[in-house]
Amino acid sequence: MKKFKENWEITQNWQLLFPLIGVLFLGYSSLKLVKLTPTNWFNSADSYFLPYLIASFIFVGIYYFFLKVVLYTIQKLENKWVVDQRWELIRIFIVFAFTGSSSVFVGRPFIKWIGITKDNLYPLFYWILFIVISLFFYQLLLVVFGWLFGQFKFFWNFEKNMLRRFGLGKFLKD
């Protein structure tokens, strides 16, 4: 545990919460993907064990893949993103995960509230509009979740850079 704390620059025990949340989210995402796979490949009535064994191997494989991708990404972004301690990168990833999921959960009822459905709008236009509305909520929620997780300054700067890339930088005052 001491080596883990030193590697992630954890100085206080409450900071261990973020790696734990990260590991739990990786497990949850892996489990959701396993549920999409057909686990009844071998439809033998006398063996209920085999599908669960296959699903367990798939879960471990997906989890391992996600973990490697996240650790590789953290390693690459460690020098690009300026943070005080390395564990804060996990906190930033958690904010991105919350924001991405939440923007869809907020955007879907909003588009329904304004009266737009797949039935009354051409599907291509519906999805383009849905992506634009979700992207709008993403911008707002990114700063809100960044503030809730104690990374407001990082996400406010990130947001300003993103808006500049969208060509909306003229509305920002530095």
| Site of tokens 């497990």 | 27
Q: Are 129 and 152 in contact (CB under 8 A)?
A: no
Rounded to the nearest 5°, which phi and psi values hold at 168? -105, 15
| The pLDDT value given to residue 141 | 93
Q: Helices (H), strands (E): how many in the chain?
A: 6, 0
Whole-prediction pTM value? 0.77
Report how far residue 4's alpha carbon sits from residue 169's, in angstroms, rounded to the nearest whole number.
41
Q: What percent of the chain has pLDDT over 70?
A: 89
pLDDT under 50: residue ranges of the chain: none
Report how far residue 105's alpha carbon sits from residue 134's, in angstroms, rounded to the nearest whole number.
9
| The pLDDT value given to residue 5 | 83
| The pLDDT value given to residue 64 | 97
Residue ranges in 37-151 assigned as alpha helix (H): 49-77, 88-113, 123-148
